[in-house]
Amino acid sequence: MTFSKALADKDYETLRTMPKSDLHNHATRGGNIRDFFDDVDLPKRDFTNLDEMQQWYDANIKYKFSGQEGFIARVESAFKQAQHDGIRRLALSFGIGDSIHFASLEAYFMAIRQLHQTIAPEIDFIPELCLGRTSNIEPVQDMFDEVIEYDFFKSIDLVGDDRDSVANYKSIYRKAKSKGIILKAHLGEFGDAESVRKGVDVLELDEVQHGIAAATSIEVKNWLRTNDVQLNICPSSNVMLNRVPSYEIHPIKELFHHGIKVTINSDDMLIFDQSVTQDYINLFESGCMSANDLNTVRETGLLLR
């Protein structure tokens, strides 16, 4: 059975067990709501901005499952969800703020490593450092210099308002690059096409989280293709945050047909409740992409860069 055939047959169980990647996953928001509540009839998840989404997450999940125990429960759920969904390459993004629940940075990294080894050792796990956009860059630089000495993170990401300039992160990204770390940032989710090109150029990114706004500019699309930049796209997140009106007209189709490397990812499974497998189905059943093209996207995510 091939992935394309399983999609055409709507064979969910086969699709679920076939190898996939998830390269855009916010760790503590990457689990399955059913691990936390028997009754998952939670308030409607339809947001107009990231603040509304964060408020929903804080009220329904974060404040109810807090501290070290809550952190571990949420990351455990993320590994279990990935394993259940056939994810073989998994980038989980962690902020340094959650290390507050542990005695030291070393204990924090050890706890994450142990969860991977205990729950899903077969998964190629990419620990990712999540930085938040801020104009007060000095404390971030100091923290980064300390954290990077542990050789724990293999990837780096930047979150927050993606319309803000990223220029003040340049020296951090240069250091990360010298350590062979995969360079990523959230761009082109709320910001425009030009902000995607600028962010990639300034930070010398390998991959962009979202980047869907690039679809509106032929120049930016050409530039991303020429520079071999991969876009880690999250269709359900885009639909539920009203960045895109529907799966049917999601820009992933346009970006893919332009020859840009794209992958399909979950972003915040605990909030959006759509697995990676389900998003392949969502794109196929809406008529957005063909089964063969979706299989090419799946293979892209499994390639080592």
For residues 169-196, one letter each, b for 16 or more C-beta atoms within 10 angstroms of the residue's C-beta and e for the rest, the string is beebbeebbeeebbbbbbbbbbbbbebb
Q: Min. distance of Cβ 65 from Zn ion in angstroms? A: 20
Q: Min. distance of Cβ 104 from Zn ion in angstroms? A: 28
Distance CA 210, CA 81 (A): 21
Q: Which is nearer to Zn ion, 267 or 293 (CB)?
A: 267
Q: Which is nearer to Zn ion, 128 or 267 (CB)?
A: 267
Q: Min. distance of Cβ 157 from Zn ion in angstroms? A: 8
Q: Which is nearer to Zn ion, 85 or 267 (CB)?
A: 267
Which stretches does DSSP call E strand in the chain? 20-22, 87-94, 124-132, 155-159, 182-187, 207-210, 230-233, 262-264
Q: Min. distance of Cβ 291 from Zn ion in angstroms? A: 26
Q: Which residue's structure tokens are 């394309």?
A: 4
Q: Min. distance of Cβ 29 from Zn ion in angstroms? A: 9
Distances (CA, A) of 205 to 70, 137, 168, 231: 33, 19, 15, 11
DSSP 216: G
Q: Which is nearer to Zn ion, 15 or 208 (CB)?
A: 208
Distance CA 35, CA 80 (A): 10
Q: Min. distance of Cβ 258 from Zn ion in angstroms? A: 22
Joined tokens for residue 127: 């620990």
Which residues contribute to the site for Zn ion (CB under 5 A)?
Answer: 267
Alpha carbon 280 to chain centroid distance?
15
Q: Min. distance of Cβ 210 from Zn ion in angstroms? A: 7
Q: Which is nearer to Zn ion, 230 or 295 (CB)?
A: 230
Q: Which is nearer to Zn ion, 206 or 267 (CB)?
A: 267
Who's near 98: CB < 8 A, 6+ residues apart? 28, 71, 108
Crossing angle of the two packed helices 276-285 and 291-302, in degrees rounded to 10: 150
Secondary element (H or E) of residue 301: helix 291-302
Tell me the residue number closest to Zn ion, measured at CB: 267
Q: Which is nearer to Zn ion, 176 or 269 (CB)?
A: 269
SS3 of the chain: helix, strand, coil, percent, to 5: 50, 15, 35
Cβ neighbourhood burial of 137 (10 Å; 0-12, 13-18, 19+): middle
